[in-house]
């Protein structure tokens, strides 16, 4: 997610000032907090146990001769454990016929992606997510991160947005198209956008200059499904069995009457564990907050207290304690819970009403 999209999301989420939030949430700088919430990536200093070989797709052209690519895979050991998870698909991986069995959901996830990785053992995938027909990957090399996103077009609109506050560094050939390189004015942040397979791809990271950034673009390769899935972090691979994972995440969480946990997995897609946790916690929390709002409006004190009591336990929910190690979703949730004790006002005395903020703040499903 880029700066413009993040700013727009936050403006919709709550009509409060940056200072309101910084003062309320451990005096954290607002931009750093938002980055934690939206990216929630794993520790980029993590070193994998062993490298994994990438197999280039035969139908993809390359712009220049390349060595046989290898990529550090964060989850190579975890990738084989998905026997018994829905349908299993065996993908031929090597000339000797050896391959890997993957859950059908994971294969579909891979095939919806551009199947791109960075051909450099210093860079590993730390995060992956999809939403509707869009998705993103985060790579890390121990010092910095890079994001690859795929979205619907048209490309011209995305370029106009980036160039509005950026410097045009011209075109550059990539493995599956021709990209336009843009540098955000006054920063060392570069982004490249191009069309591929009917979608807009965007690759973004920090670089010392445009030549270094172009070198990273040259390192992008298109691989086969098996290689792409092997490079995924364990948090993505394990989340494929969503009904079981969701059931585990609901441990210790009181559920409102009529809440159907099975609905959480119906259209959740493949998600990073942190993002799946946010979906689960958000759905339950939104249901309790809706009960509190309705009960407060109708004067049903018992129903309002039941909702308050349930949400007061949220900081001890096991999945929230786990998520607190990676991002700030739990802290944002706590601001909404606190509002249930302040007549429905977030960040009193001048914050928005809970009724106006909770859906966007917690990502409630429409």
The two tokens of residue 205 are 């990271």
In a domain, 60, yes or no: yes
pLDDT of residue 266: 54
If asked whether residues 200 and 253 sit together in one domain, one would say no
Q: Of 215, 232, 249, which marks where a domain is finished?
A: 232
Q: Domain limits at 212?
A: 51-232
Q: What percent of the chain has pLDDT over 70?
A: 69
Pair 142, 194 in one domain: yes
Report residue 239's pLDDT band, with 50, 70 and 90 as the boundaries. low
Please give the pLDDT value at position 26.
Answer: 45
Evaluate whether 254 touches 313 at the Cβ level (below 8 Å): yes
272-326: pLDDT as tens digits: 788 888 889 999 999 999 999 999 999 999 999 999 999 999 999 999 999 998 8
Q: Are residues 64 and 27 in the same domain?
A: no
282 found inside a domain: yes
Indicate the number of domains in the chain: 2
* Residues 247 and 332 placed together within one structural domain of the fold: yes
pLDDT > 90: what percent of the chain? Answer: 52
Q: Name the average pLDDT for the chain.
A: 77
Residue 64 falls inside a structural domain: yes
Cα four-point dihedral sign 278, 283, 288, 292: positive
For residues 245 and 204, is the Cβ–Cβ distance under 8 A?
no
Name the 3-class secondary structure at 74: coil
Label residue 6 by pLDDT band (50, 70, 90).
very low
21 falls within a domain: yes
Q: Coil, strand, or helix at residue 71?
A: strand
- One domain for residues 287 and 196: no
Residue range 33-57: average pLDDT? 44
Instruction: Determine how many CB atoms are found less than 10 A away from the CB of residue 98.
Output: 8
Which runs of E-coded beta strand occur in 26-69? 51-53
Residue 46 within a domain:
no
Report residue 131 as tokens: 């939403």
Strand partners, 223: 56
Boundary-marking domain end, from 232, 264, 291: 232
Check pLDDT > 80 for residue 18.
Answer: no
In our burial notation (b when 16+ CB lie closer than 10 A, e otherwise), range 110-145 reads bebbbbbbbbbeebbbbbbbbeeeebbbbbbbeeeb
pLDDT digits (tens, 9 = 90+) for 114-161: 999 999 999 999 988 887 778 999 999 999 999 999 999 899 999 999
Find how far residue 239's CA is from the centre of its chain. 13
Q: Which of 232, 248, 276 is the last residue of a domain?
A: 232
In the chain, DSSP assigns E strands to 51-53, 70-72, 88-92, 99-103, 116-118, 124-131, 134-140, 145-151, 166-174, 177-184, 189-196, 199-206, 220-222
Residues 37 and 64 in one domain: no
Residue 247 near residue 261, CB atoms below 8 Å: yes
Q: Which residue has the higher pLDDT, 276 or 101?
A: 276
With a CB cutoff of 8 Å and minimum separation 6, the contacts of 351 are 14, 16, 20, 339, 345, 357
Same domain flag for 323 and 341: yes
Same domain, 305 and 332: yes
- Domain-located, residue 247: yes
Q: Which of 42-51, 250-259, 269-278 shows the lowest mean pLDDT across its residues?
A: 42-51
- Is residue 205 in some structural domain? yes
Residues 183 and 255 in one domain: no
Q: What is the pLDDT of residue 238?
A: 67
72 with 12, same domain: the answer is no
User: Do the domain assignments include residue 13?
Assistant: yes
Asked if 328 and 38 touch (Cβ cutoff 8 Å), the reply is no
Name the pLDDT band for 84 (thresholds 50, 70, 90): very low
Residues 59 and 189 in one domain: yes
- Tell me, yes or no, whether 110 and 207 share the same domain: yes
* Residue count (the chain): 366
Q: What is the CATH number of the domain that holds 141?
A: 3.40.1000
């Amino acid at each position: 997610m880029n700066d413009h999209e993040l700013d727009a999301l936050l403006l919709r989420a709550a009509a409060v000032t940056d200072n309101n939030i910084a003062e309320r949430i451990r005096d954290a700088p607002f931009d750093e907090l938002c980055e934690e919430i939206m990216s929630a990536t794993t520790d980029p200093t993590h070193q994998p146990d062993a490298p994994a070989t990438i197999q280039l797709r035969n139908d993809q052209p390359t712009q220049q001769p390349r060595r046989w690519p290898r990529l550090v895979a964060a989850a190579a050991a975890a990738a084989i454990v998905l026997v018994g998870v829905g349908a299993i698909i065996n993908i031929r991986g090597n000339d000797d016929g050896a391959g890997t069995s993957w859950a059908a959901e994971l294969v579909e996830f891979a095939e919806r992606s551009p199947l791109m990785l960075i051909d450099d053992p210093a860079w590993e995938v730390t995060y992956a997510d999809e939403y509707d027909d869009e998705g993103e990957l985060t790579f890390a090399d121990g010092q910095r991160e890079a994001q690859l996103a795929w979205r619907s077009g048209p490309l011209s609109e995305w370029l106009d947005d980036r160039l509005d506050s950026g410097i045009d560094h011209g075109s550059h050939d990539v493995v599956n198209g021709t990209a336009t390189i843009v540098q955000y004015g006054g920063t060392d942040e570069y982004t490249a956008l191009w069309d591929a397979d009917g979608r807009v791809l965007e690759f973004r990271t920090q670089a010392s200059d445009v030549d270094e950034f172009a070198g990273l673009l040259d390192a992008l390769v298109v691989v086969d499904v098996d290689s792409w899935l092997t490079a995924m972090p364990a948090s993505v691979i394990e989340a494929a069995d969503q009904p079981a994972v969701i059931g585990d995440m609901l441990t210790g969480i009181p559920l409102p009457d009529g809440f159907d946990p099975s609905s959480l997995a119906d259209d959740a897609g493949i998600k990073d564990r942190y993002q799946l946790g946010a979906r689960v916690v958000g759905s339950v929390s939104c249901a309790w907050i809706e009960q509190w709002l309705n009960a407060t409006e109708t004067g049903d004190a018992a129903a309002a207290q039941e909702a308050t009591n349930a949400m007061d336990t949220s900081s001890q929910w096991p999945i929230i304690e786990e998520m607190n190690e990676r991002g700030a979703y739990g802290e944002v949730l706590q601001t909404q819970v606190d509002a249930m004790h302040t007549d429905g006002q977030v960040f009193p005395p001048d914050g928005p009403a809970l009724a106006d903020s909770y859906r966007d703040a917690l990502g409630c499903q429409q």
